[in-house]
Amino acid sequence: MRVLLFGATGMVGQGVLHECLTDDRVTAVLTVGRSATGRTHAKLREVVPPDLYDLSSMAGELSSYDACFWCLGVSSVGMAEQAYTRVTYDLTVAGAKVLAEANHEMTFVYVSGAGTDGTEQSTTVWRRVKGATENAVLALPFKGFAMRPGFIQPLHGAKSRTWYYTLNYRVFSPLSGLMVRFGPNFATTTSRVGHAMLQLASAGSDKRVLESADINNLAAAYEARAR
């Protein structure tokens, strides 16, 4: 499997990258983002395009990948709606359209969030904008999925670059393992997110919008195949 990974420097992206690099079933990983991770690995290549909003010049190269894991995003805290929409909706949809046109068989997994409003009617900006992003991605002609994880326990050194989330993870760190173990309907880990993505890329799913429980179930199925 050849994987495209957008947003590999964020906490979720770091976790997904780790799982891709350590899985023998993944033969190549290309990260695309606003900055490189700085990691080196035999099957890893990194690209920092001059304009993330226009990937058309890379379409031919990107079409050779089997799956795209879109982990690129920002927190809405302190952001005006227009600015948040540009990064969350405009950027994601622009990239997804290029990929869908380049390869209809590609699996595209968009990381959204628990509480996202697919009706696009919420008065909360991030719920509404992410709902619109999900809907736009799922309407494109490829194998699209949206993940809505709730609490995510960072593993293998993954760290958030957003101070607000970093503070929350520090506060809940002593309980995070228990939350994942006893709250699978609202909690997961970066490893499980990565494994769930790989399961979607290799076997698909009847569901196109996946909550935390679905993510954990997909991860378990993928891990069972690896034994």
pLDDT at site 223? 93
SS3 118: coil
Tell me which of 182 and 146 has the higher pLDDT. Answer: 146
SS3 18: helix
DSSP per residue, 127-171: HHHHHHHHHHHHTSSSEEEEEE--EEE--TT---SSHHHHHHHHH
Of 23-27, 154-158, 215-219, minimum mean pLDDT range: 154-158
**117 strand-pairing partners:** none
In sign, the C-alpha dihedral spanning 10, 15, 17, 18 is: positive
pLDDT at site 45? 97
Tens digits of residue pLDDT in 195-207: 999 999 999 999 9
Report CA-CA distances (Å) from 128 to 61, 93, 121, 143, 155: 33, 15, 6, 23, 29
Contact 142, 104 (CB under 8 A): yes
Percent of the chain whose predicted confidence (pLDDT) is above 90: 79
Contact 183, 203 (CB under 8 A): no
Question: How buried is residue 92: exposed, middle or buried, by Cβ count under 10 Å (0-12/13-18/19+)?
Answer: buried
pLDDT at site 106? 98
Using alpha carbons, select from 197, 196, 202 the residue that is nearest to residue 217: 196
Q: Write out the two tokens for 196.
A: 């769930």
Tens digits of residue pLDDT in 141-180: 999 999 999 989 888 777 666 544 555 555 556 666 666 7
Of 25-39, 85-99, 163-177, minimum mean pLDDT range: 163-177
SS3 30: strand
Domain ranges of the chain: 2-226
The predicted model gives 25-43 an average pLDDT of 95
pTM of the predicted protein model: 0.91
Mean pLDDT taken over the chain: 91
CATH code of domain 2-226: 3.40.50.720
The predicted model gives 133-145 an average pLDDT of 98
* Dist CA 172 CA 156 (whole Å): 17
